[in-house]
A and B are shown apart, each in its own frame.
Chain A
Amino acid sequence: MSSSLLRRALALLLLWWMLSEGLPESAGLGAVAVAAALAASHYLLPPGSRTLRLGPCIRFLLYFVANSVRGGLQVAGLALRGPAALRPAMLEVELTLPEGPPALLLVNALGLMPGTLSVRLQGRRLRLHSLDARQPIERDIRALEARIGPIFGGAP
């Protein structure tokens, strides 16, 4: 077993321990579930040369959680004030992240960041919907890119 598979197996075991609330009776079912999940992850995302870096991962998660709170607050404020407060627009941005998993992570994460919703990704051109075009959307995207890049080993 490669070290990458071993790490995945450990993460899945930990997940099962949480889901089963640590009940020892569920260990048999857990073994089956972990094996099935490991096989699925091996098939869908074969362990390649790419390894995720833990430090940048944690930094990204903290940034993501903090900004999804900001995003929730903003959209709650807009909902209370009604559609008159909206300045929606479609924007296009050229990503600096490489195509593949880094860009996909960005595109999906943007849906929970303040005021942005990804609409289409073609190559590196991202089309997105913004609730409030007066916000510094592009600056926020660059900040998010700077946190996603290092996860995959790119320049910060």
Chain B
Amino acid sequence: MTGLEFPLALFLLANLVPALHVALRRPGRADPMLVALLFGSTGVGILVLLAHGGGGPALIDVALVLALLAAISGLAFARRAWHSPEDSHD
């Protein structure tokens, strides 16, 4: 433990706030999906940091599941849920 894990996890979490804020104000459905992917990849980073910062090794398994779920939801979005260009921004 370097003592950095917890502050860095907080920093990554803070990164998500402006992304969420902006994505929800942009029209269309593509940007919220991108932010969902951002949550996936950032969430994996946060979880592995917390696992090492005292949360216990089980959080690494949670991180793995989160990574897989983000991938599956992204593919499902692209293939099944996103049907019209008007759904997108500009």
Contacts and interface: CB of A to CB of B under 8 A. Distances in A.
Interface in B39-90: 57, 61, 64
A19 B57 contact: no
Contacts of A21: 57
A72 to B, nearest CB: 12
A130 to B, nearest CB: 19
Interface of B is mostly: helix
B3 to A, nearest CB: 24
Nearest to B64: A19
Interface residues of B, number: 3
Nearest to B57: A21
Contacts of B61: 19
Interface in A44-63: none
A124 B6 CA distance: 48
A15 B57 CA distance: 17
Contacts of B64: 19
A142 B64 CA distance: 34
Contacts of A19: 61, 64
A21 B64 CA distance: 13
Contacts of B57: 21
Interface string A10-32: 00000000010100000000000
A21 B61 CA distance: 11
Interface in B3-41: none
A57 B39 CA distance: 31
B48 to A, nearest CB: 14
B38 to A, nearest CB: 13
A21 B51 CA distance: 14
Nearest to A20: B61
B54 to A, nearest CB: 17
3 contacts: A19-B61, A19-B64, A21-B57
Interface of A: 19, 21
